[in-house]
Amino acid sequence: MEYVFLGRTGLKVSPLCLGTMNFGPYTNEVDSFNIMNRALELGINFFDTANVYGAMWDAGGVGNTEKIIGRWLSEDKSRRDKIVLATKVYGNMGSRPNESKLSAYHIRKACEESLKRMQTDHIDLYQMHHIDRNTPWEEIFQAMEQLIREGKITYVGSSNFAAWNIAEAQMAAKNRNFLGLVSEQSIYSLRNRHIELEVIPACKHFGVGLIPWSPVGGGILCGVLEKNKEGRRTREPLQKSVEKLRPQIEAYEKLCGEINTAPADVALAWVLNNPVVTSPIIGPRTVEQLEQNINALDIKLSQEVLLKLDEIWPGPGNQAPEAYAW
């Protein structure tokens, strides 16, 4: 495993990040433990979760995924220092008025609760799960700085931010002599290339590591035309997307067959080919899926294949404004 720096920091993480959103909703605790154990054996040291995970699809309520991670960490205390642990704050954690978003009040409380659920004394990367347009950066960064001083978090990241949100955050951080954002977690795949317009250029300019989520297009790029009897690929919204995108999917899977490479591996290799990308998030439901994902690290797509992929899944063609103006 060749480790990479997280953005402009000196922190080294694996080039694939273990996403845990399936833990609880689709993967039981025993299998979740097996996936995390195998990830460590394979050299993956970057684990990502969120405080709201576990609530989706009636799977034990908010915080359940963090609890599963906590029980895994408590089973063997040595595991904690072997991983870079990332979680998120923003989502709705209850019915009271201050149990969501990015007020200093909620950031402090949400952090304490995540620490308890994960049975750890610190979070390595604390990510804002979404932009909060009603809370000033002075308040947000004051809260984050306090958590850093207390040793409860080490780095701050963002997720689902627009490019101008990243720029605004970094300017506010600079005025406070604060490191600011070290990473941005954005949706990015062959299927969804919107961030090539502005978010990727912003990450490159500010030295912010890019952590793509859904790099296999929510299952669209995983060989979805094969019959699936379980997992997220059986959900109705995905099936509707398959029908809408069927000509592209057929062309994509045909190309993958021609180069004798699994569709999911091609999708991950394509994301990894972007030099701004730090570590795409994989979300295996089984150990077998995890072991399959690792194959992408050894795949180098030829220029000919990259051009064909651009034809099937076209992006904006350039960054803004050149993508739509001179």
CA distance 72 to 30: 10
**Quick one: which of 306, 282, 279, 273 has its CA closest to 222?**
282
Please identify every residue annotated as catalytic.
53
Specify if 321 maps to a domain. Answer: no
pTM for the full predicted model: 0.95
Structure tokens at 74: 């408590």
pLDDT at 10: 98
**79-91 pLDDT, tens per residue?**
999 999 999 999 9
User: Are 219 and 263 contacting, i.e. CB atoms less than 8 angstroms apart?
Assistant: no
Nearest to 284 by CA among 296, 301, 302: 296
Structural domain span for residue 152: 4-312
Is there a domain that residue 292 lies in? yes
In a domain, 200, yes or no: yes
Q: How many domains does the chain have?
A: 1
The pLDDT of residue 231 is 53
Task: Identify whether the C-beta of residue 120 lies closer than 8 Å to the C-beta of residue 85.
Answer: yes
pLDDT at 234: 59
pLDDT under 70: residue ranges of the chain? 55-60, 227-235
Cα dihedral sign for 85, 88, 89, 91? negative
- Calpha distance 50→64 (Å, rounded): 10
In a domain, 123, yes or no: yes
CATH code, domain carrying 209: 3.20.20.100
Q: Does the residue 317 lie in any domain?
A: no
